[in-house]
Amino acid sequence: PTATARAVDVLVIGGGQAGLAAGYHLRRAGADFAVLDAQEQPGGAWRHAWPSLRLFSPAQYSSLPGWMMPPPPAGGYPSAADTVAYLTDYEQRYQLPVIRPVSVRAVRRSGASLQVETDAGVWRARIVISATGAWWRPYVPYYPGIGDFAGRQLHTADYDGPASFDGRNVVIVGGGNSAAQILAELSAVAATTWVTSRPPRLLPDEVDGRALFDLATRRHQAALVGESATGIGALGDIVSVPPVREARDRGVLKAEPMFTRITSEGVAWSDGTTLACNTIVWCTGFRPALGHLAPLRLRGADGLIPTDGTRALGEPRLHLLGYGDWTGPASATLIGAARTARTAVAEVMQQLVADAR
Ligand code: FAD
């Protein structure tokens, strides 16, 4: 198949917000590039989020380079659908060369280039930017008895609104924004119990994603010079978006410690306390979708790929964009991906020039 491989200087894998931000800068730099995306339609993970999800920052702080997200017509913080509409328009506005649906299966070293194998043929690239996100690898921690539970278990990634939870007895696991927003919604229709492994941290009403992003940036800069930065919170702390505030005021945002095992009828703690439930919602996060990079053998003990900025230490022709703080401050958020993409593409363009000499 390599005889018919299509060749570009830079191939971006993933057409979510991170891939699009990279595309914007590659286009401006005049690069020869393409973006491959596994989905039928634009929007990345946002297309799969539950309808009531609200971003934790206003539109102007949730924007990609060049063009700001328009404020939502209904006011307030943008929804997942607003974000999908923005990413769809963004892609068209900058005529980004996104090819979909194309799923990348493997990236391998092949002489001077990287060979990218997909379900629709083979590509060759001098540099690959991987921006495949994390939505595709939901994480559920193991608890003894998890397989015995007779009720329904689902992950944040499967949640699509409260309709099927009427009158249920639900345990919601996890201390972040997803858990708080889903709890706020489910507590209006079901009996809910919230369990978290550490006491959840609810930010003051006036603090939103902007402050968290600034803090992530300061922490990153401080870490570079061996210092630490402190501030009002951390990415992962719960932003008091209006539905969460309303749930707090109803008194339902009280968390229990984490249970230690699961039975067929519910959950149990080490002191012998038990709780009957018929639904467990795991709001326990995601892991980066890096399976297509396995042939490069770059993963460290923590399952992540060590990088200098966005460039993989073990393979300088590979950049990783998005995913989390390990590839750039808050780079799994819209504003973080936007900023990280700029420096990543500047480095990629330098690499291409150096390569051609
Ligand atoms: P994705 O959106 O996942 O896009 C990756 C794309 O790559 C997808 O289209 C996927 O189909 C494709 N892909 C994956 N694997 C392959 C492959 N092998 N081959 C080809 N294509 C592939 N961020 C904020 O800024 N503000 C918020 O308020 C906010 N709230 C959030 C709330 C929740 C519940 C969650 C889960 C996240 C939230 N985020 C928020 C974080 C973040 O913005 C999103 O997770 C975002 O979707 C990450 O973008 P991405 O481009 O890195 O990845």
Nearest-CA residue for atom 50 of ligand 1: 133
The burial of 239, by beta-carbon neighbours within 10 Å (0-12 exposed, 13-18 middle, 19 or more buried), is given as buried
Question: How many Cα atoms within 13 Å fall on the side-chain side of residue 240?
Answer: 14
* Ligand 1 pocket residue status of 45, Cβ below 6 Å: yes
What's the CA dihedral at 180, 214, 64, 245 to 10 degrees? 20
Please identify, by atom number, the ligand 1 atom nearest to the C-alpha of residue 181: 34
> What pLDDT is stored for residue 235 in this prediction?
58
Residue among 68, 72, 92 at smallest CA distance from 82 = 72
Asked if the bond preceding 97 is cis, omega within 30° of 0, the reply is no
- In the DSSP assignment, the letter for residue 145 is T
Is residue 18 classed as helix, strand or coil in its secondary structure?
helix
Distance CA 54, CA 181 (A): 8
> What pLDDT is stored for residue 126 in this prediction?
98
Is residue 78 classed as helix, strand or coil in its secondary structure?
coil
Please identify, by atom number, the ligand 1 atom nearest to the C-alpha of residue 292: 18
Alpha helices in 121-260 (DSSP H): 177-186, 209-224, 242-250
* Ligand 1 pocket residue status of 292, Cβ below 6 Å: yes
The number of beta carbons lying within 10 Å of the beta carbon of residue 351 is 18
The low-confidence residues of the chain, meaning pLDDT below 70, are 1-3, 212-213, 216, 220, 223-224, 226-236
What b/e readout covers 30-41, taking b as 16+ CB neighbours within 10 angstroms? ebebbbbbbbee
> What pLDDT is stored for residue 236 in this prediction?
67
Please identify, by atom number, the ligand 1 atom nearest to the C-alpha of residue 18: 51
Distance CA 182, CA 353 (A): 48
* Ligand 1 pocket residue status of 236, Cβ below 6 Å: no
Distance CA 332, CA 14 (A): 13
pLDDT digits 0-9 by tens, 204-263: 887 777 776 677 677 767 766 766 655 555 556 888 888 999 999 999 999 999 999 999
Q: What residues form DSSP beta bridges with 84? A: none
* Ligand 1 pocket residue status of 340, Cβ below 6 Å: no
Interface confidence (ipTM) of the complex: 0.97
Nearest-CA residue for atom 38 of ligand 1: 333
Please identify, by atom number, the ligand 1 atom nearest to the C-alpha of residue 104: 19
* Ligand 1 pocket residue status of 62, Cβ below 6 Å: yes
Q: Are 280 and 168 a contacting pair, CB within 8 Å?
A: no
Please identify, by atom number, the ligand 1 atom nearest to the C-alpha of residue 105: 18
Give the E-state strand segments of the chain in sequence order.
Answer: 6-13, 33-36, 98-99, 104-110, 113-118, 121-130, 152-155, 169-173, 191-196, 255-257, 261-262, 266-268, 274-276, 279-282, 307-308, 311-312, 315-320
* Ligand 1 pocket residue status of 107, Cβ below 6 Å: no
* Ligand 1 pocket residue status of 11, Cβ below 6 Å: no
Distance CA 157, CA 284 (A): 10
pTM of the entire structure?
A: 0.92
Is residue 228 classed as helix, strand or coil in its secondary structure?
coil
The burial of 74, by beta-carbon neighbours within 10 Å (0-12 exposed, 13-18 middle, 19 or more buried), is given as exposed
Nearest-CA residue for atom 32 of ligand 1: 178
Please identify, by atom number, the ligand 1 atom nearest to the C-alpha of residue 20: 51
* Ligand 1 pocket residue status of 98, Cβ below 6 Å: no
* Ligand 1 pocket residue status of 143, Cβ below 6 Å: no
> What pLDDT is stored for residue 229 in this prediction?
58
* Ligand 1 pocket mutation, candidates 24, 35, 37, criterion most atoms within 8 A of CB: 37
Give the Å distance between the CA of 46 and the centre of ligand 1: 7
Give the Å distance between the CA of 93 and the centre of ligand 1: 20
Task: Please give the full DSSP string across 157-191, using - where no structure is assigned.
Answer: GG---GGGGTT-EEEEE-SSHHHHHHHHHHTTTSE
* Ligand 1 pocket residue status of 133, Cβ below 6 Å: yes
Give the Å distance between the CA of 170 and the centre of ligand 1: 27
Sheet holding 191-196, edge to edge: 152-155, 279-282, 169-173, 191-196, 255-257
